[in-house]
Amino acid sequence: MTRVYITQAFQVAANPIAQSHYRLLRNTTAWSLVTTQRTSPSRPIPPGIDVVSWCVGHTLPSPFERTYAILDNIQSCNRTPGIIFLQDVHYQGLDAILTHPWVMDCYHPTDVDGSNWIGDRSFGTVALVRRDLDLANVFRVPLMAEQGRVRDALVLDFVDRQAQIVRFMSTNLGTTSRGDLLAGLAEYSPARGSDSAKFVLVGETGADAEPPVDARLKDVYLDMGRNGDDPNGWSWGMNCYPRMGMGERRQKAFVSEGVVVHDFGRIGAGPNAPLLAEAGGYVYASENSGVMLILANLS
């Protein structure tokens, strides 16, 4: 079946928007602004970390409860990922993130309110960075649409043992299937001029869109020899519409040649999907599943 998308003409903005991140003050429940160490973080990124990406979805009901259930599900993997990207987080879902005990014990969030989010600031992308990792830089790349709709990409920079940038980017393009957007975002990859540079792009990038060849990025799922049309790769629809045969591989990961991927797969899908108790039974907390990358050779 041919997919047809109604899209808007997004453009990648030329000027990124800098921001910082937050840490929990000792023996309190208050989040404090952290000054990002843009020049010389005290610790390089470790050689291997896990990265999780999950589109929460801001239009569904009960955003606090759904976001909390998704975090419970990620925690149940028992791996404590180095970075967790959550796209399309409702502002009430942000409250769930900031009060979740696992997050409070283990992570620094990039956001404690919607002030850094693009558009009407009612939803956006949030990153959770494990507390033992030192961020060198945090910024957002706005994606501007002709008809007023806006999205963005959230970027986290670390440094390796050679003081070179290791960059992670996450975005949510929704149902937009636009290779030109990926081309614009790939301009921020430090790997464009280096075989050894490290760049990871994760998020909902569209079911069919792939970055241009000159971006030098690999689609992790396809690079592992998997079939792009296999329902086992679906990240959208798997939890809500399996009997109707509806689903797409929207949640993708792209890496530069310098990054080694030990494993990549869905989390929170099928029998492992997060559930919410409601009158008369249970409902799925998300219409999406997440994905996890197990990475090496970062430093």
Strands 107-109 and 137-145, how do they pair? unpaired
Condensed to tens digits (0 to 9), the pLDDT of residues 119-134 reads: 778 899 999 999 999 9
Contact status, residue 112 vs residue 104, Cβ threshold 8 Å: no
Domains and CATH numbers, the chain: 48-296 (3.60.10.10)
- For residues 58 and 270, what is the distance between their CA atoms, to the nearest angstrom? 21
Considering only CA atoms, which of 274, 143, 246 is closest in space to residue 203?
A: 143
The arithmetic mean of pLDDT across residues 160-165, rounded, is 90
- For residues 24 and 106, what is the distance between their CA atoms, to the nearest angstrom? 10
Contact status, residue 182 vs residue 12, Cβ threshold 8 Å: no
Q: Is the predicted pLDDT of residue 284 greater than 70, yes or no? A: yes
Considering only CA atoms, which of 195, 198, 190, 149 is closest in space to residue 172?
A: 149
Question: Between these two residues, 26 and 231, which has the higher pLDDT value?
Answer: 26
Task: Tell me the Cα Rg of the chain.
Answer: 18
- For residues 193 and 195, what is the distance between their CA atoms, to the nearest angstrom? 7
Q: Is the predicted pLDDT of residue 246 greater than 70, yes or no? A: no
* Residue showing tokens 């999780």: 52
Q: Is the predicted pLDDT of residue 245 greater than 60, yes or no? A: no
Condensed to tens digits (0 to 9), the pLDDT of residues 6-28 reads: 234 456 666 789 998 999 988 88
pLDDT-based confidence at 243, cuts 50/70/90?
very low
Exposed, middle or buried: residue 95 (CB in 10 Å: 0-12, 13-18, 19+)?
A: middle
Considering only CA atoms, which of 56, 46, 254 is closest in space to residue 170?
A: 254
Question: What is the structure's pLDDT at 191?
Answer: 72
What does pTM read for this prediction? 0.89
Contact status, residue 292 vs residue 267, Cβ threshold 8 Å: yes
